[in-house]
Amino acid sequence: MSQLDLDLAAPGLLTAGVDEAGRGPLAGPVYAAAVILDPDRPIDGLDDSKQLTARRRALLFEQIRERSLAWAIARAEVEEIDRLNILQATWLAMQRAVAALTVTPSQALVDGKLCPRLPCPAQAVVGGDRLVPAISAASILAKHARDEEMTMLDARYPGYAFAKHKGYGTAEHLAALRELGPSPIHRRSFRPVRELLIENEKI
């Protein structure tokens, strides 16, 4: 039995799973979520959000909010991403999510190789969104909430197809970016956007 298994099995221990969505896109905020699952109200089908269909994520999104002991979704804005860098902004979103929980966790398990400083003991878990149900739940909340946000932003900033690619640097997105220029929600610190801005300054 690993140390992680021992921690999860400790009686009375409230473990918050923490994950993010939206580190890689060229546009939009980065989201994070924190979830403390209720062992008496299990949720079937929790998995890495990227392995689930949008419809399945939407169903699980509602179940997680209904059955968890506590959950919270937070974000860091584009301005914070550009000012801090994407890693620090992601950690800021995670810190906000954990701070917003209505139940204080005993520990936090964070997807990835590194984790931010949190008000409770925290451990990074590589592949945690597949291995730890609470992290899977956080992954689903963060991704579904961010996808919904990008769909709304698509209506506000038409032409970029944000509802389709959610801000990721697809060929369609890059073509629209070159044609229309950056929108207010594009991340100026990300290279394709930054290079376009530099190129436009030379014209």
CATH number at residue 34: 3.30.420.10
In a domain, 8, yes or no: yes
Q: How far is CA 108 from CA 11, 33, 95, 99, 186, in A?
A: 16, 12, 11, 12, 31
- Whether 169 is in a domain gets the answer no
- The count of domains in the chain is 1
Burial class of residue 173 in the structure, from the number of CB atoms within 10 Å of its CB (0-12 exposed, 13-18 middle, 19+ buried):
buried
Domain holding 37, by residue range, is 3-146
Q: Residue holding tokens 């991340």? A: 187
pLDDT by position in tens, the chain (length 203): 345 544 555 667 999 999 999 999 999 999 999 999 999 999 999 999 999 999 999 999 999 999 999 999 999 999 999 999 999 999 999 999 999 999 999 999 999 999 999 999 999 999 999 999 999 999 999 999 999 999 999 999 999 999 999 999 999 999 999 999 999 999 999 999 999 998 877 54
CB-based burial, 108-130: b 16+ in 10 Å, e otherwise:
bbbbbeebbebeeebeebeebbb
